[in-house]
Copies of this chain bind each other. A is one copy, B any other.
Amino acid sequence: MQIGLVGLGKMGYNLALNLRDHHHDVIAYDINSEAVENFKKDGGTGANSISELVSLLSSPKVVWVMVPAGEITSNVINELKGLLKENDIIIDGGNSKYKDSIARAEELKKLGIHFLDVGTSGGISGARHGACMMIGGEESVFQSVETIFKDACVKDGYLYCGKHGSGHFLKMVHNGVEYGMMQAIAEGFEVLHKSEFDYDYEKVAKNWNNGSVVRSWLMELIEDAFSKDAKLDEIKGIVHSSGEGKWTVETALDLQVPTPVITLALMMRYRSLEEDTFAGKVVAALRNEFGGHEVEK
Residues of chain A whose beta carbon lies under 8 Å from any beta carbon of chain B = 10, 121-126, 130-132, 134, 153-159, 161-163, 165-166, 169-170, 173-195, 197-199, 203-204, 206-219, 221-222, 224-225, 229, 232, 234-240, 242, 246, 248-253, 255-293, 295-297
Contact = CB atoms under 8 A, between A and B. Distances in A.
Summarize A's interface: helix, strand, loop or mixed. Answer: helix
Nearest to A102: B196
A207 B268 contact: no
B297 A234 contact: yes
B207 A132 contact: yes
Contact of A123 (B156, B213, B252, B272): B213
A55 to B, nearest CB: 32
The interface centre, meaning the residue of A280, A291, A296 with most chain B CB atoms within 10 A of its CB, is A280
A22 to B, nearest CB: 15
A297 to B, nearest CB: 6
A282 B232 CA distance: 8
Nearest to A206: B156
Contact of A180 (B165, B181, B251): B181
A237 B284 contact: yes
Contacts of A262: 184, 187-188
A177 B282 CA distance: 13
A93 to B, nearest CB: 14
Residue of A175, A182, A253, A265 with most partner-chain B CB within 10 A: A182
Nearest to A197: B166
B178 A276 contact: no
Given A161-B199, A179-B184, A257 B156 contact: no
B122 A193 contact: no
B130 A237 contact: no
A258 B214 CA distance: 20
A173 B157 contact: no
B269 A265 contact: no
Contacts of A214: 121, 174, 177-178, 181, 216-218
A279 B187 contact: yes
Contact of A122 (B182, B213, B225, B237): B213
Contacts of A188: 173-174, 176-177, 180, 248, 262
